[in-house]
Chains A and B, each alone.
Chain A
Amino acid sequence: MAKAPYQPPVQSKFGQVFDSLFLLALVMAALFVPLYLGLAGGGKTTLEMPDKSWAGMQQNATMQAQWEKLGYTDGTEAKDGKTPAADLIAARFDYTFEPVELGLTALVVIGYFFIVFHWSKKEYQDVIDERFNNK
C-alpha cells in the first residue's frame, strides 16, 4: 500500500524574499563577526630583531639584491621611495596552541558531519520510500 506523496506548501513571494535575505545576512555574519571582533588573523606574531640591517635580519647578499629590486630597503625608515622590509621579514605565524582548543575544534568538525549525515539519512529514507513506493 503506497503512502500518498508529500505535498509541500507553496511558498509566498514574501516568504521567498525573506528566506533569501536571511541567507544573505547569515553569510555576512560569518564574514564580519570574526573580522569585527578582531579574532581573525590572531595567529600571527612578530620576531624580535634589534638589528634591522640586512645582515642583522639574516639576509644574505642574494636576498638583499632581490629585496632591493622588489622595492624594499633595510632599516626602519623608507628611503629613496623604497619601503622597509623589516615588517615582512619579522612576520611569523604563532603555531602554539592549547590541546583543549584543538580538541574542541575537532569536536565541532566531527560533530557537524555526524549531525548532517544522521539527519540526511532520515530524510533520505523518506525520499526513497516515496520514489520507489515502499510499503
Chain B
Amino acid sequence: MSQTTAVHGERISLLRVLGPGHVWALGVGIVLVGEYMGWNFAVGKGGAIAALVACWFAGLLYTCVAMIDSEVTSTVAAAGGQYAQAKHIIGPLMAFNVGLFLVFAYTMLEAANAITLGYLVQTVGSMSGFENTHDKPFIVLTIMFLAWLNYRGVYATLTFNLVITAIAFVAIWVLFFAVQPWSDVYMKHDQLLTGLPYGWLGVLAAMHFGMWYYLGIEGTTQAAEEVRSPARALPLGTMTGIMTLLIAATMTWYICAGLMPWEYLGQAVTPLFDAARLTDSTVLMVLLFIGTIFSTLASANGCINDASRAWFSMGRDRYLPQAFGAVHPKYRTPYRSIVFLVPVALVFAIFAPLDQVITFSILSGLLEYTFMAFNVLMFRKKWPLGTIPRGYVHPFHPLPAIVLLILCTATYFAVFLGYGTQLIAMMVFYIMASLWFALHRYKFVRRGAQFTMPWPKPVGY
C-alpha cells in the first residue's frame, strides 16, 4: 500500500516496533496503579467486604471488555483504538465521542497519578522531619517529565514502562508474602471486618471505584499501529493483562483489609504504602514507596501515550483541527497532541481533588464500555463471522455484551449514589461537545475517506 516509513519519502507514520511484552506493559502499566491508590475509595463507599465484591464484579465487567475488545481490535488495528472501531462500525459522531472518552479517561488518570505521586513525596518529606513541604513541584515534574519522554519516542517510553511495571507488580507480591497471609501475625480480618456499613446498597455503590482496579486495560489497543503483529500481540497482551490484574487486585484487598480499619482505608491516598508502614519494616516501606512511585509513573506514562494517540487520530481525520495529525519526523510521535494535552493534565492535577479527578476518569471509561457493548453487537451484525478475517473471535457471543451492559447500568447507578452531580456535569459536557461536532466540526471531515479498512460493504447498507 501507499504507507511508507521513510522520512525522505512523501509520507511519515508511527513506528512499528512493539512486541506483546510492551502491550502487556502498556495495559497493566496503566492499571496497576489502581491497586496502589484509588480502589480503596470503594471501601469508603460500601465497606471492606463491599469492595471485594465490587472487585470481582468489576473483574467480570473487564473480562467482558477484554474479550470484546480483543476481537474488534484484532480486526480494526489502528492507532486510536476504540475511536477507529467506532468510526468503522457505528459512525462519526459516536467515534468523536469515543475519542473524547479515551482522551479524558486517560488524561484524568494521568492527573490522578501525578497527584498521588506528589502526595507521597510530600508525606515522606514530612515523615523525615521537614516542615512546610509541598506536593505541587513534584506533580508538575511528573507530568512534564513523562510528556517529554513520550515526545522523544514510543520504544524507549514503553520499554521504560515494562521495567517499572514489573517492579511495581513484584512489590505487591513481596508485601503479600511478608504479611504472612496464612497466619494472624499481621492479618486481623476477624477484628477489622465489621460487616456492611451501608448494607447491600453500599455493595452496589462500591462498583463505582471497583472499576478503578482495572480501568485503562483497554488502552492496549491504542498501540495498534506501533505493534509488530497486532492480530496476535493485542489479544495476548490484553488477556494476560486482565489475569495479572485480577490476581493483584485480590491480593491487594486481602492485605489492606487485614491491616486497616475501613474508615481509614476508605479515605487513604496511598493504601499499599500505608499497609507497609503498619508492618514496621523499613525495607517494606521503601519497597512499597518505590512501588507506588513506579506504578504512578508507569500509569501516567501509558496515559500520555494513549491519550495523545487518540487525539492524534482524531486530528488526522480532521475531527479535531488537522494540525494535531502531525507526526514528528525524527521521533515519530504525535508530538503536537502530546504538548497540547499537557496543560489539561496540569490544571486538573493542580486544582481538583483526587476523588473528583478519579470520578471524571471512571465516568469517561464507563461511557466507553457502554459503547463497546453496542459496538460488538453491531460489528457481528454488519460483518458476520466469515465475511472478514478476524485475528481473534470471542466465545459465547452475545453473552459478554449483555453482561457488560448490565454491569455498566449498575455502575451508572453506583456513581449516581454520592456523585450524582459529577455524572450530570460530565453528561452535559459530552452533549455540548457532540452538538459542537455535529453542527460545526463535521463539515471539515472527508466522508468516504475515513473508512480505511479493506472490508466489504456492511450488511444492511
Contact = CB atoms under 8 A, between A and B. Distances in A.
Q: Is the interface of A mostly helix, strand, loop or mixed?
A: helix
29 contacts: A5-B449, A6-B447, A9-B443, A20-B340, A23-B320, A27-B104, A27-B429, A28-B347, A31-B347, A31-B351, A31-B360, A34-B422, A35-B352, A41-B419, A43-B418, A66-B188, A66-B261, A66-B264, A91-B267, A95-B418, A101-B420, A102-B413, A112-B430, A112-B431, A117-B374, A119-B438, A124-B92, A127-B92, A129-B448
B461 interface: yes
B21 interface: no
A69 B278 contact: yes
Contact of B192 (A15, A41, A63, A101): A63
A89 interface: yes
Contact of B424 (A19, A62, A108, A115): A108
Q: Is the interface of B mostly helix, strand, loop or mixed?
A: helix
Interface string A65-85: 011011010000000000001
Nearest to B268: A70
Interface stretch (B52-60, B138-146, B450-458): B450-458
B421 A8 contact: no
A122 to B, nearest CB: 8
Most buried by A among B198, B420, B432, B448: B448
Interface string A24-36: 1011111111110
B205 A93 contact: yes
B261 A16 contact: no
Interface in A93-135: 93-95, 97, 101-102, 105-106, 108-109, 112-113, 115-117, 119-132, 134
Interface of B: 44-45, 90-95, 97, 104, 188, 191-192, 197-198, 201-202, 205, 259-261, 263-264, 267, 274, 277-278, 318, 320-324, 340, 343-344, 347-348, 351-353, 355-356, 360, 370, 374, 412-413, 416-434, 436, 438, 441-451, 457-458, 461
A39 B264 CA distance: 25
Nearest to B430: A112
B270 to A, nearest CB: 12
Contacts of A105: 412, 416, 420, 423-424
Nearest to B191: A62
A60 B420 contact: no
Contacts of B428: 30
Contacts of B416: 97, 102, 105
Contacts of B320: 19-20, 23
Nearest to A16: B321
Contact of A121 (B91, B197, B445): B91
A31 B348 contact: yes
Contacts of A29: 429
Most buried by A among B90, B321, B348: B321
A55 B445 CA distance: 66
Contacts of B433: 23, 26
B93 A123 contact: yes
A50 interface: no
| Shortest beta-carbon contacts, A-B, top 7 | A120-B91, A130-B448, A124-B91, A16-B321, A30-B429, A62-B191, A43-B418
Nearest to A57: B263
A93 B191 CA distance: 23
A93 B434 contact: no
Given A26-B432, A127-B447, 14 more contacts: A5-B447, A8-B444, A11-B321, A19-B321, A27-B104, A28-B347, A30-B429, A33-B425, A40-B421, A44-B418, A105-B416, A109-B423, A120-B94, A124-B90
Contacts of A95: 198, 201-202, 205, 417-418
A67 B264 contact: yes
Contact of A127 (B202, B419, B450): B450
A30 B441 CA distance: 20
Contact of B94 (A9, A20, A44, A116): A116
Contacts of B434: 112, 115-116, 119
Contacts of B448: 5-6, 127, 129-131
A59 interface: yes
A128 B461 contact: yes
Most buried by B among A19, A28, A30, A132: A30
